[in-house]
Structure 1
């Protein structure tokens, strides 16, 4: 797997996000309160809200536009809502974060 370095975990606040621009689109990289890191496409499947501006709770993020809750693990809408975004593989090596190039290519191809 080819990995792209995207920065250090400390660049992302606890329960917050930072964005990475790629040729395939904008990726939101989230850090949970437990220091887990997830990456998903930065648009809600409902109306395209920027998930990176949402509220992180547990392993989910709430879209700032219409309160849809999206799983950071699966990219799927939770509860009664339907839809999903692509997840991107993240590697954390001693705080240095990378995303998988193959995940980006697969997401762009679908």
Structure 2
């Protein structure tokens, strides 16, 4: 299926990578990824942990801790939805009108 999202590829790959990496490190299996193209491109990553993520600012010499900060900078909106079996973290990107 062709979604016509060539301009969003780099940002989408980075957002998906950060959200999936956080789910692997801090969540509980199973982990599920969904990409939804509607009025925006929505990336959702779900896992079975009910612990909500926290946005933090890493110091210059820290090796990690920048994932959600990057997601927050790249996405138009992002958030967490608690569910019966865990949580879903989502990030929304605008679609190009070109």
Query: TM-score normalized by structure 1?
Result: 0.29
- Higher Cα Rg: structure 1 or 2? 2
Higher helix proportion: 2
Higher strand proportion: 1
Query: TM-score normalized by structure 2?
Result: 0.31
